[in-house]
Structure 1
Amino acid sequence: MNREENVPLKQRMARGERLLGILVRTPATMLIDMAGHNGYDFVLLDTEHGFADQQVLADHVVAARAVGLPTIVRIGGGEAALALRVLDAGAEGIVVPHVQSAEQAVDAVRAAHYPPLGDRGFATYTPAGRWGKAAGSEHAADAARRTVVVAMVEDAQGVENAGAIAGTEGVDALWVGLSDLGATLGYDAGAADVACRQVWAAAQEAGAPVLALASDAKGVGAAFDSGAQLVVLNAQAAIDRCLGDWAQAGATYISHPNESHPNESHPNESHPNESHPNESHPNESHPNESHRTSPTRTRARNVNG
């Protein structure tokens, strides 16, 4: 992750960079702010299975822009009007679900782009147009340079047509929706996995990046190793998993209070780093003693850790 100021997400995708995003499905502007300060590359907001209130959605786009994060928004199928509104609000792209053919991919592109590539309604008096500060030609050129379209393949017909979808002008990436794909294939996880690999191979042949979802650091690494160029951390799943792990650990201590547990601290037991009064320690600070302060070292943070 090496986010460059003023370099559009679309351009970074086109030059083959590996990019890490965060999926936000529930209101959490502070989480977006944290993601920006931890080096993530983009935010994916979900309106298909998440946000319904457009003001809340717009607030999250603003929060992302404040920390330099581009936003792409998953809309529902056939929601060209919503595509217009989220792009006007400052989002840099859309994710369109259930794309089953090249014709539907063209429809997705047309909903996202201004003429001549699309038929999105044109306006400059929006956040995307800097509230009218951008000239019409400038805004149109900037939108063409930035607007991202991700096509979701999550049906058997979409798998069959994955190559044509990936090769559609204006489609910037493919994303396999494993849950819906598995449902259409009789809830057969094995069949869904085979179909997913088929889509990834078609995307690779067409030169289109693939987006994948992960719920923890191990999954992020596995997705990149498997060939995904964009990996999105499912924040809701990751937080839920942490809460579940902590609750389970707490329940173990609560239900067995008198049993010895690893890392448990007992009074009157001596531990290597335990501090006792009147004992001298190498790094202990005492009043009236002079110590030389060492320079502070900056520790790099790894979001995968």
Structure 2
Amino acid sequence: MADDAPLLRNRVREKLARDEVVASMTARLVRGVEVAQIAASAGFDSLYVDLEHGPLTIDVTGQICMAALAAGITPLVRVPALTPEFVGRVLDAGSLGIIAPHVHSAEEARSVVRMAKFPPLGTRSAAGHLPQFGFRSLPAALANPALDAATMVVPMVETLEALAAVEEIVAVEGVDMLLVGTNDLTAEMGIPGEYDHPRVRDAYARIIAAARGAGKHVGIGGLAGRPDLVAEFVRMGARYVSTGTDLGFLAAACAAKAREVHALAR
């Protein structure tokens, strides 16, 4: 078995290759493997662990990623900093992709690719027994290409600088998709939270056109409360939808249930 070429399934990559829409949820609150099983049972294609805006540790992140792998959905991780000690460790812990915040240029995108990919494209260090292969020992000549093929690199477009360089960023070899950070982008534009502003639509149009032109994809982030805009941008060509966080889902469900009970008295 150890001499067989390994097969790693990445549902996100497979659906994007078919030009299908991917549904993803974000883990920011739940500190256990349950969140991965809940995401899978709910029908999500992907779960991404948010280390940029949450208190979760790399240890917990690895447990969630392994649970997602076992459940058949794609684990991704948004790292808090674009450094090898985060990128390399979360990949070795079981992630099948890096969501990279604060990428401002093509050179910064290339830097993330180098950290996430093995030579010759990158400089990722071989770790040996990995959860992606069920901790089997595999020859590097087999394991490294399989990991490279399954591992996604997703720079975020959330600054004006990144928007201005989007064509160069998405053209970087090894970049699979761009994820639009709509909240940070509107703040940079001086219109925080004004999602209906024409500049937001223009930004999405430019990003989607650049990605499509490069044979890549676009993800929608920060618009969990605006399904109308999500639908509009999907029609424009975006294919990955970040639907919200476990914390947001819990808070919304709790508030709805409290309103329901209080309404009984009326």
| 1:240 maps onto 2:247 in alignment | no
Q: How does 1:10-25 map to 2 (within 5 A)?
A: 10-25=13-28
Q: Which protein is bigger by CA-based radius of gyration?
A: 1
Corresponding residue for residue 65 of structure 1: 69
Deviates more, 1:136-145 or 1:227-236: 227-236
Deviates more, 1:213-222 or 1:171-180: 213-222
Cα 1:85–1:164 change in 2 (3 A) is same
Any gaps of 5 or more consecutive residues in structure 2?
A: 1-6
Equivalent residue of 1:95, what SS? strand
Corresponding residue for residue 206 of structure 2: 198
Would you say the 8 A contact 2:207–2:218 is kept in 1?
no
Equivalent residue of 1:131, what SS? coil
Corresponding residue for residue 127 of structure 1: 131
Corresponding residue for residue 210 of structure 1: 218
Deviation at 1:206, TM superposition (A): 2.2
**When the two structures are superposed, what TM-score results if normalisation uses the length of structure 1?**
0.75
Structure number with the bigger relative contact order (C-alpha 8 A, sep ≥ 6) is 2
Q: How does 1:46-125 map to 2 (within 5 A)?
A: 46-125=50-129
Corresponding residue for residue 241 of structure 2: 231
The whole-number CA distance in structure 2 between the counterparts of 1:21 and 1:172 is 16
The whole-number CA distance in structure 2 between the counterparts of 1:55 and 1:159 is 34
> 1:205-244 deviations in whole A, cap 9, x for unaligned?
2221111135369456455334221112213323322222
Equivalent residue of 2:154, what SS? strand
The whole-number CA distance in structure 1 between the counterparts of 2:141 and 2:83 is 26
Would you say the 8 A contact 2:40–2:73 is kept in 1?
yes
The whole-number CA distance in structure 2 between the counterparts of 1:57 and 1:161 is 31
> 1:51-108 deviations in whole A, cap 9, x for unaligned?
4312111111121122111211001232221110111111111000111111111011
Deviation at 1:162, TM superposition (A): 0.5
Deviation at 1:193, TM superposition (A): 4.2
Any gaps of 5 or more consecutive residues in structure 1?
A: 260-305
The whole-number CA distance in structure 2 between the counterparts of 1:230 and 1:238 is 19
Would you say the 8 A contact 1:90–1:128 is kept in 2?
yes
Which amino acid is 1:21 matched to?
S
The whole-number CA distance in structure 1 between the counterparts of 2:20 and 2:108 is 27
Deviates more, 1:156-165 or 1:225-234: 225-234
Would you say the 8 A contact 2:204–2:233 is kept in 1?
no
Equivalent residue of 2:47, what SS? strand
Cα 1:234–1:223 change in 2 (3 A) is farther
Q: How does 1:24-63 map to 2 (within 5 A)?
A: 24-27=27-30, 28-63=32-67
Corresponding residue for residue 279 of structure 1: none
2:166 corresponds to which of 162, 168, 172: 162
The whole-number CA distance in structure 1 between the counterparts of 2:19 and 2:260 is 42
Cα 1:58–1:7 change in 2 (3 A) is closer
1:8 corresponds to which of 7, 10, 31: 10
Deviation at 1:6, TM superposition (A): 5.3
Cα 1:98–1:217 change in 2 (3 A) is closer
Deviation at 1:197, TM superposition (A): 3.0
